[in-house]
Amino acid sequence: MPAFVPPRRLIRTLCCILALAALGSAGHVPALAADKPLRIGVLAFLGAEAAVTEWTPVLRRLESALPGYTPTLVQLDHDGLYEAARRGELDFVITNPGHYVELEAALGASRILTLDAGGGRAPERALGSVVIVPRASPLRALENLPGRRLAIVGRSGFGGYQLVWGELDRRAIDLAELREVGLPMDGVVDALDRGLADAGVLRSCLLEARPDWAARFRVLSPRVEHGFPCATSTPLYPDWPLATLRHTPPELARVVAIALLGMRHEQDGLAWAMPADYQAVHELFRRLEIGPYAYLRAPTLMVLAERYWPWVAGFALLIVGWIAYTVRVEHLVQSRTAALREALAAREAMEASMRGAQEQAEHMSRLSVLGELSGTLAHELNQPLAAIANYANSLVRRADNQRLTEAAVREAAGEIAGQAERAAGILGRIRAFARKRTASREAVAPRELLDETVTLFRGMLAHAPPVAIDDALPPDLRIEVDRLQIQQVLLNLLKNAWDASRGLPYERQRIDIRLEVAADSLRIRVRDHGSGLDETARAQLFESFFTTKADGLGLGLSICRSIAEAHGGRLALAAADAAPDASPNGTRDAPADAGLAAEAVGATFILSLPLAPSPNPASAAGTPDTSEPT
């Protein structure tokens, strides 16, 4: 009588026959690509050597069925297999059902076959977990595990922990103290032998591979599964799948599935069947709220920390780094603040020393100007003194001749007083100009400042040259300057203009001064009608100790430029080929004798100073800049 064949087994056989028929009708599987690698990632739960031994028949079958490919096995643990699949380094994966469900949800893995281990294990009922204890252990059932040390491969191990966790959860048994030993799974047995754990979890049918297992170990809460040849402490689940990834070519998946369906237990030691239903695995994970169903967990602090541990770790590192950075910055701030205080103190001392030296240089420059003009100063003072003496002698003579009248006395006394005031004014202006003092700025009218300087200049000379002033300024315009310093600059320019032309005819000694507004600054032009300057003198004119005078020090113009720049302005020499200054009505100012215009080359110095803020902006608008380039 023929043996009875279960219907499900018969269906699988028919599927294999149909697949082989399709393969036979094609004659052979075509080579899809020449010498192309075919990478199969395998979960090496028993170690790399055992994985090679177990899956070598698959390699041999694919090598013979796909001549254009070079199949290779890549043995990895759970995390390594996931990362390799994510990076696209694998074409197929062979892993446990729990890991496959995670890859399916995260990376789009798709099963095409399920392992048919044979020996009474059907593809849909082939995998369980067994909890073992040493034979002498007092533990008898799963209910005795709370408070005990349980050796497991890892929390991500399907047959090495998750199936037992599901059974303990179904029985409402608290989890034991877990001792993770990692892959390979033989480490669980080693932990029991060394006394590091009270119980251990193995994948079903691994215990029976050890001949002496019954003498050494005992199974907790064994289940009776009809037709299943191995001990188990949990319900049975589908066997391992062969899965493709998103980037696996469909044609390659088809020919691989056809090739592996042709394997036989009698010839190859293992076989493959059509993909089983893994819904039981999904239900287990949903109940445990792990894998793709981890989002179902109540959002407790511990769960959130476990779920988002990379973010939590990153945030903790950020906080620690921020604290370390803050401490370091505070230390640097303190040290640099102390260094900055010292630097500021040294800078203030240096600035004070520089200010003192600058003031001393300016004072010496003023004294130098006075010294150069002192030869004519005595003659200038002799005039009022001589007038005083003449009027006094006249009074004496009239008294001797008895012709002294009240009117004559009043006239003489008035003239004497006037000449005395004239002499006192000359000395007072010189004393004020020569006085050494600290610089201070005030808002002054440019024309008033210029008139004072011209008066001082003329009062120090016996034969002062004519000075023509062209004032094109609004009446209320002001500049904020140090009065004495700007007077020093203007007096230097007037003195240089007089020096350039005092050996010439009187009509060529005229000094032209023009006041005008250009953009947001005041410009004071001082022009002489001398012989001008050559290119060498123009290039070095403002350098310290450069002078064209036989008895000069070469500091006047250098100091004047420093004073102008300290006020935010500029002192420059106009271009050598500049035309005479334009008058307000658009005409050119000509010398008194127009016939000398061609000879009166001269030089024009331009002092630019910023304008002081005005309450009436329209009044400071000034006239357009018609100056020559400087």
Mean pLDDT is lowest, of 158-167, 258-267, 495-504, 564-573, for 495-504
Measure Cα distances from 261 to 28, 239, 556, 604 in Å.
Answer: 14, 15, 107, 106
Class of the CATH domain delimited by 441-630: alpha beta
- At residue 520 the predicted structure's pLDDT band, cuts being 50, 70 and 90, is confident
What was the pLDDT predicted at 32? Answer: 42
What was the pLDDT predicted at 469? Answer: 92
CATH code of the domain occupying 129-236: 3.40.190.10
pLDDT digits (tens, 9 = 90+) for 368-386: 666 655 554 555 566 577 6
Rounded Cα gap, residues 472 and 460, in angstroms: 27
What was the pLDDT predicted at 501? Answer: 84
| Residue that wins the pLDDT comparison between 156 and 84 | 84
Q: Name the pTM for this structure.
A: 0.46
User: For strand 92-94 and strand 69-76, is the pairing parallel, antiparallel, or unpaired?
Assistant: unpaired
Q: Where are the alpha helices (DSSP H) in 37-185?
A: 48-65, 78-86, 97-107, 163-170
| Residue that wins the pLDDT comparison between 389 and 342 | 342
Q: Which helix (H) or strand (E) covers residue 527, if one does?
A: strand 521-527
- At residue 415 the predicted structure's pLDDT band, cuts being 50, 70 and 90, is confident
Q: Averaged over 319-348, what is the pLDDT?
A: 91
pLDDT digits (tens, 9 = 90+) for 15-72: 544 444 444 433 344 444 447 899 999 988 777 777 778 888 999 999 999 988 999 9
pLDDT exceeds 60 at position 314: yes
Residue bearing tokens 């080359």 = 601
Q: Averaged over 104-130, what is the pLDDT?
A: 91
pLDDT exceeds 90 at position 247: yes
Measure Cα distances from 32 to 26, 74, 90, 231 in Å.
Answer: 14, 22, 17, 44
| Residue that wins the pLDDT comparison between 473 and 408 | 473
What was the pLDDT predicted at 276? Answer: 92
The structure tokens listed for 392 are 């006094």
Mean pLDDT is lowest, of 101-110, 133-142, 569-578, for 569-578
- At residue 10 the predicted structure's pLDDT band, cuts being 50, 70 and 90, is very low
What was the pLDDT predicted at 120? Answer: 82
- At residue 93 the predicted structure's pLDDT band, cuts being 50, 70 and 90, is very high
pLDDT exceeds 60 at position 437: no
What was the pLDDT predicted at 24? Answer: 40
Q: Is the dihedral of CA 570, 576, 580, 585 positive or negative?
A: negative
What was the pLDDT predicted at 416? Answer: 84
Asked if 497 and 464 count as a contact pair (C-beta separation under 8 A), the reply is: no
What was the pLDDT predicted at 426? Answer: 65
What was the pLDDT predicted at 46? Answer: 74
| 129-236 and 441-630 in the same fold | no
What was the pLDDT predicted at 378? Answer: 57
Cβ-Cβ contacts under 8 Å for 358 (sequence gap 6 or more): 562
Cα of 435 vs its chain's centroid, Å: 55
What was the pLDDT predicted at 198? Answer: 93
Structural fold of domain 7-123+239-276: D-Maltodextrin-Binding Protein; domain 2 (3.40.190)
Rounded Cα gap, residues 488 and 557, in angstroms: 10
What was the pLDDT predicted at 374? Answer: 56
Q: Which of 456, 459, 466 is nearest to 486 (CA)?
A: 456
Q: Which of 596, 585, 325, 361 is nearest to 492 (CA)?
A: 361
Domains of the chain, by residue range, sit at 7-123+239-276, 129-236, 441-630
What was the pLDDT predicted at 377? Answer: 58
Percent of all residues in the chain with a pLDDT value above 70, rounded to a whole number: 77
pLDDT digits (tens, 9 = 90+) for 474-499: 888 998 988 878 888 888 888 888 88
